[in-house]
Amino acid sequence: MRILPVVFACLLCVIPLTGLQAAEGRRAAIVIGVSDYGGQGDLANPARDATATADTLTRLGYDVRKLVNPSANAVDEALDGLETGQPIQSLLFYFSGHGRRVGGTSLLALGVRDPRTGERRSLVLNDLISRFEKLKPGSTLFVLDACRTETELKGAKGEAGLAAPPRATGTFFAYSAAPGGLAFDSAGRTLSPFTYALVDELLIPEQDIGVVMRKVRERVSRETAGRQIPWSEDALTGQLVINAAPSAPELFNLYGKALKGDAAAERELGLAYLNGQGVVTDVERGSSLLRSAAGRGDTDAMLALGGFEATRDQNALKPGGRARDWYSKAANAGSAEAMYRLAMLDTKPQPDDRKPDDAAITLYRRAMEAGHRDAAARYLSLNLRFGFDKTRNRAVTIAALRENAAAGNLASMVELGRLYSAAGAEQDAKEAGFWLDRAVAGGSADALLEKASIAGQGIGQPVDLVRAHDCLLYTARCV
């Protein structure tokens, strides 16, 4: 185990808005870890510490942009990305790597050199603070593990370690060691004692940052036999809780499982935040939890994100197409529901007399073969109109639709209602009414619309505009 003399080994700086209640909005984080300095001061821990921090913040509902050994341009792009979207409720910037101080200014060294000058670029902490202030977030947190001195940067200007942070009311500073003290950083350890304790404590709900640091201080002091004492300076004017658990009892246990990386719990909690079930509606936190679950391979979370993005696209002047991206990921993972939704995205805007493209038909067929009954209803109905499946003649297709409807599939009942109400050899008003009534009883809005159309146009019966109106307004009158 190596001992590092430091000025401030790791800094957690929290700057809330003065005199203002933090507004509801998204929780955004930029996490940077620099281990590769081209052989001149390479570090072992930053990439691992950054990954652990990013994973933790993602679980806490942050939209995290993680950058490992990035160029200055990549960092600029990530910073620019903060300027788009909803207002930021909580903004966190994390950096792990080499740090220097020059004339009282803290510099965060990047590993990639400028291709034009050959010089290593650095981020100026004061510039970052000024840039974030313009975003007017509810709170800004800087987590800086940028005082490594066991391996020096050759030719770097200034002194190792960070300069003292600015003094300001409403600010909280936490260090991995007391000023002038020692911090442990073993090459054989997954995380440093301070980072391990900090990340672990952040996963415990409802802890004020002051409580978090007192517990971190006790744990690290005990582990290092008193040789490393984390330090903090508190000028906050109120309580600051980074990890706020849902207050609803039924969600508390779910929250705990989500924090441990349970994808199903992340999905259910994300849906709760999106829909305001047991918690205050928080779209950004809900979608962040769903993205985390989707990243663990949860296809239901991918479907939920697809539905969420589809709703946003419907309300947007310029749809972004992200619904298709999530549905495609779920379909590639084998989800029949995703295949069906992808096909519906392509075919719903089309008129009934236009044949869908082959890709959509293939998606319907694959979903049907996987047991998706709505996809089967759509595929069979389209086949009745366009006859693209030569293995199924009209009689076989109708028989398959009836079998699907008899099994309780509402979409098949509606398709049969349309079939028997349309002019042609199969037209049968009584049969059409039978299937549509069953679908209405099951709660099908499409069946209601079909019955309204039949009554309004007088298909197989006298025109009845009153009944058509009632069908649109009152489900009970249509049964």
- Quickly state the pLDDT bin for 5 (edges 50, 70, 90): very low
Looking at residue 187, its pLDDT comes to: 52
| Long-range contacts formed by 215-220: CB under 8 A, 24+ apart | 216/174, 219/193, 220/176, 220/193, 220/194
Q: What is the pLDDT of residues 364-412, one digit of tens each?
A: 999 999 999 999 998 998 998 888 998 889 899 999 999 999 999 999 9
pLDDT over 90 at 1, yes or no: no
Q: What is the pTM of this model?
A: 0.59
Determine the Cα–Cα distance for residues 70 and 88; give it in Å rounded to an integer: 24
What is the rounded average pLDDT of the residues 8-30? 53
Q: What is the pLDDT of residues 267-283, one digit of tens each?
A: 999 999 999 888 888 88
Q: Kind and range of the H or E element at 419?
A: helix 410-421
DSSP string, 295-355: HTT-HHHHHHHHHHHHHHHHT-SS---HHHHHHHHHHHTT-HHHHHHHHHHHHTTS-TTSP
- Quickly state the pLDDT bin for 2 (edges 50, 70, 90): very low
- Quickly state the pLDDT bin for 183 (edges 50, 70, 90): low
Looking at residue 8, its pLDDT comes to: 38
Q: From the CB of residue 430, how many other CB atoms can be counted at a distance below 10 Å?
A: 8
Looking at residue 476, its pLDDT comes to: 44
Looking at residue 11, its pLDDT comes to: 52
Bigger pLDDT: 22 or 322?
Answer: 322
Domain ranges of the chain: 3-234, 246-333
Mean per-residue pLDDT over the chain, rounded: 80
Q: What is the pLDDT of residues 355-365, one digit of tens each?
A: 889 999 999 99
Among 127-141, 160-174, 232-246, the range of highest mean pLDDT: 127-141
pLDDT over 80 at 235, yes or no: no
Residue 154 burial (10 A CB sphere; 0-12, 13-18, 19+): exposed
| DSSP state, residue 124 | E
What is the rounded average pLDDT of the residues 86-98? 83
Looking at residue 9, its pLDDT comes to: 43
Bigger pLDDT: 347 or 211?
Answer: 211
Q: What is the pLDDT of residues 192-217, one digit of tens each?
A: 788 888 889 988 888 888 898 899 88
**27-36, 177-186, 459-468: least confident range:** 177-186
Determine the Cα–Cα distance for residues 86 and 386; give it in Å rounded to an integer: 46
CATH code of 3-234, in short, is 3.40.50.1460
User: 420 near 432, Cβ under 8 Å?
Assistant: yes
**53-67, 149-163, 462-476: least confident range:** 149-163
Angle between helices 336-347 and 322-332 (to 10 degrees): 140
Bigger pLDDT: 188 or 390?
Answer: 390
Residues of the chain above pLDDT 70, percent? 80
Strands 63-68 and 159-160: unpaired
Strands 120-124 and 182-184: unpaired
479 contacts: CB under 8 Å, gap ≥ 6: 437, 440, 441
